[in-house]
Amino acid sequence: MEDKQNLWTKDFIFISIINFFIMIVMYMLIVTIAPFAVEEYGASASMAGLVSGIFIIGTLSARIATGRVIESIGSRRILLIGMVISVVAIALYFTAHSLPVLLLVRFIHGIGLGIASTATGTMVAQIIPPSRRGEGIGYFSLSTVLATAIGPFFGIYLSQHADFTWIFAFSLVLSIIGLGMFFFVDKRPEEAPHEISEPEDAPQGLANYIEKSAIPIAVITLLAGIAYSGVLSFLSFYAKEANLVDTASFFFLVYAVAILVSRPFSGKLLDRKGGTFVVVPSLILFAGGLLLLSQTHTGIILLIAGAIIGLGFGNFQSCAQAIALIGVPIKRIGIATSTFYIFLDFGFGLGPYFLGSVATAFGYRDLYMILSGLIVVALILYLLIGRKKRPVIQ
């Protein structure tokens, strides 16, 4: 009985590390690919934005399809497919000698990441003991959180001290290591080849790709993703405007540390007390952190805002992912995971396009005040439509 409640299994650890490598490559390239397009090909600002954004389009396309296919093919084989596509795509960066080719490679890489990350999220949800689902997903999501801090750091550092080729080489090495680690993940009985027969009452149409019960919390995650995309996309511009460039380089490290410190507690609280006990304080902290960010005039205030935003958005994200899976049958965990990430990706991908206009019209300080208000709206929506009664999947 005790063994069934074990969280830190070999598969859990390896899948988390694989996800970390996948995500660190994603974030490392996100902060460097647009400057690469401008520097190497003389791309305009809008074209450089497209080079960065088309990755998200590829990711979304893959997630929509993967959530459905994963039921019949199995999450382990889907992960292998996604990782192979990612490795091939990263190798193709070396051959991208024109903007059209670079756009195509970015799109393919997005597909690979969308497939692989949906598979890793589904696999950990399947192997985590139900009574520890919130805690387990919280720890697993640290692999993404750490990547959001370490990826941009490595990307910016390499771009300042080496040729862009080294960024692609480092990305390729990490991806190959991740692919190698895949073969240490055990093949579970449910992953054995089998024929899938659709019951007569099987979901049809949109239900094949979207888990209806996950939509309310996914909509709230969309709003939170839009708000956080404003931090990811415009913090460097805001820091330059406020003469805090040196301090800003530590913002995401402080963000990650805040989550590392709080995650062991927030995950257990989610399992024991339910989603509302974690989500409400997290959204309040997120709104407060954005408000503090809008009033930043010194480096210490900027870092405090980073810590508060980490406690807020960082813990909300993992908690929301766990909530999206509450009450979902095992066979639809893949679709529910895909649904959550689709909405999150929309927030990350589309947010900067809309927020750029807001920043131009009102300035960065007002932008973060507006985003703080957006999180208040998200909090109200959660209290109205986003809550689920059971804290874990049954």
- pLDDT value for 46: 67
State the residue for tokens 């240490």: 184
Spatial CA neighbour of 171 closest among 16, 19, 21: 21
State the residue for tokens 């382990």: 76
The answer to whether residues 371 and 229 touch, using CB atoms and an 8 Å cutoff, is: no
Collapse the DSSP code of 246 into the 3-class scheme (helix H, G, I; strand E, B; otherwise coil) and give the result: helix
Confidence of residue 52 (pLDDT cuts 50, 70, 90): confident
Buried b (16+ CB within 10 A) or exposed e, 115-129: bbbbbbbbbbbbbbb
The answer to whether residues 303 and 333 touch, using CB atoms and an 8 Å cutoff, is: no
Q: Where are the alpha helices (DSSP H) in 310-332?
A: 315-324
In this predicted model, which residue has the larger pLDDT, 83 or 350? 83
The per-residue DSSP string of 132-176 comes to GHHHHHHHHHHHHHHHHHHHHHHHHHHHHHS-HHHHHHHHHHHHH
Compute the distance between CA of residue 244 and CA of residue 249 in angstroms, rounded to an integer.
9
- pLDDT value for 79: 94
- pLDDT value for 112: 96
Half-sphere exposure of 256 (CA within 13 A, CB side): 18
The answer to whether residues 393 and 133 touch, using CB atoms and an 8 Å cutoff, is: yes
Angle, vertex CA 71, rays to CA 70 and CA 72, nearest 5: 95
Collapse the DSSP code of 120 into the 3-class scheme (helix H, G, I; strand E, B; otherwise coil) and give the result: helix
Confidence of residue 193 (pLDDT cuts 50, 70, 90): very low
Q: List pLDDT tens digits, range 360-380.
A: 889 999 999 999 999 999 999
Pick from 60-69, 349-358, 369-378 the range whose average pLDDT is largest.
369-378
Task: Give the mean model confidence (pLDDT) for residues 171-175.
Answer: 96
Buried b (16+ CB within 10 A) or exposed e, 242-274: bebeebbebbbbbbbbbbeebbeebbebbbeeb
Listed in sequence order, the residues at least 6 apart from 274 whose beta carbon sits closer than 8 Å to its beta carbon are 389, 390, 391
Q: List pLDDT tens digits, range 220-256.
A: 999 999 999 888 778 877 888 889 877 887 888 898 8
Confidence of residue 196 (pLDDT cuts 50, 70, 90): very low
Q: What percent of the chain has pLDDT over 70?
A: 90
Q: What is the mean pLDDT of the chain?
A: 84
Compute the distance between CA of residue 278 and CA of residue 255 in angstroms, rounded to an integer.
18
Compute the distance between CA of residue 344 and CA of residue 355 in angstroms, rounded to an integer.
16
The answer to whether residues 230 and 392 touch, using CB atoms and an 8 Å cutoff, is: no
Buried b (16+ CB within 10 A) or exposed e, 90-114: bebbeebeebeebbbbbbbbbbbbb
Q: What is the DSSP letter of 188?
A: P
pTM comes to 0.78
Half-sphere exposure of 278 (CA within 13 A, CB side): 31
Confidence of residue 203 (pLDDT cuts 50, 70, 90): low
The answer to whether residues 213 and 327 touch, using CB atoms and an 8 Å cutoff, is: yes
Length of the chain: 394
Q: Which two tokens stand for residue 291?
A: 């408000």
